[in-house]
Amino acid sequence: MAKLLNLSAFMLVTLIFMFQPQPGYSQEQPEIVCIQCHSGMPEKYSQPVKLWRGSIHAENGIACNACHGGDPKDAANAMSRERGFLGVPKDPDIPAFCGRCHVGVMKDYLASAHGRALGKGGPTCVTCHGNHQVLKASLELINEKSCSRCHSYDRARSIRDAMQETETMIVATEARIIDFKKVGSDTEKLEKELFALRNHFHSLFHNVNVETVKKESSQIQTELKKIQSVLATWDQTNQKRKIAGAIAISVMLLIALFAHLLRKTFE
């Protein structure tokens, strides 16, 4: 009887542990010499570091040398041209500067009305996205305060309205994928699909044709619904597992109770 009760308790603890999300672990990397040096300088030179710390670049581990080049491990040669230091680009060179990583976005920008005005007073990447405190691409970047610095906000407002539903779907889908990843589900394929769709979606930010934006947004939503369908199937599977686990526990407890009552009867 004691062995049976111990077995029931062991199975109960095991099942509870299986359905608990496991914590992730990250190891903080030491700061590069660029940040160490500039952080202690007067505000003109330390301000970029403060802004960078609140950026999507910092969040993803992209530091000074990823954009400006140089040697981030050697203070004496951090700004050496021989070590690949590029410095600060002039306005007409900014799209190519950022486009080393954001190749597709650069192409979209250059094909847009903004890109065609490059070198003629038109905006560059940093005009809308900032230089050091680069924010995560979202519809929040399309706002009246920013857009009306150069022109009327009317067309931009129409584009933002057309994209709002898609943005909401992307955020919700990403949140669900993250939840599944936390409990050990293999989400790599869905993450890649969502990443591609998000990039496609962000490419629309530079398009000023409202009808094109509406059409492309609709196509992206169709693909997002496919991902959501997969997640819904996973939900059903996990629910069945939980029910099966609860039934197994209930059966074991009933067996233990029955054995206990049977023992009492014979006593």
The dihedral built from the CA positions of residue 242, 248, 251 and 252, taken in this order, carries a sign that is negative
Q: Alpha-carbon distance 173 to 137, whole Å?
A: 16
pLDDT at 8: 47
Q: Alpha-carbon distance 65 to 199, whole Å?
A: 24
The dihedral built from the CA positions of residue 125, 130, 131 and 135, taken in this order, carries a sign that is negative
Could you tell me the residue ranges of all domains in the chain? 33-87, 88-126, 151-267
pLDDT at 85: 93
The dihedral built from the CA positions of residue 206, 106, 220 and 170, taken in this order, carries a sign that is negative
pLDDT at 29: 54
Whole-model pTM above 0.85? no
Beta-carbon contacts of 115 under 8 Å, excluding residues fewer than 6 positions away, are 95, 109, 122, 206
7: tokens are 């077995």
pLDDT at 19: 43
Counting Cβ atoms within 10 Å, is residue 87 exposed (0-12), middle (13-18) or buried (19+)? exposed
pLDDT at 252: 84
pLDDT means over runs of 10, the chain (267 residues):
44 44 45 90 93 94 92 89 92 94 91 91 91 88 91 90 92 94 92 93 84 92 95 84 78 77 72
pLDDT at 223: 96
Percentages of the chain per state (helix, strand, coil), in multiples of 5: 70, 0, 30
CB 159 within 8 A of CB 208: yes
Location of structure tokens 């939900």 = 235
Give 136's Cβ-side CA count (13 Å radius).
9
CB 66 within 8 A of CB 86: no
CA distances 6 to 2, 205, 245, Å, are 6, 61, 18
Residues 2-58 have pLDDT tens digits of 444 444 444 444 444 444 444 433 345 568 999 999 999 999 999 999 999 999 999
Q: Alpha-carbon distance 156 to 172, whole Å?
A: 24
pLDDT at 207: 85
Location of structure tokens 């094109």 = 212
129: tokens are 């996205």
Q: At what angle do helices 188-203 and 103-111 cross, to 10 degrees?
A: 20
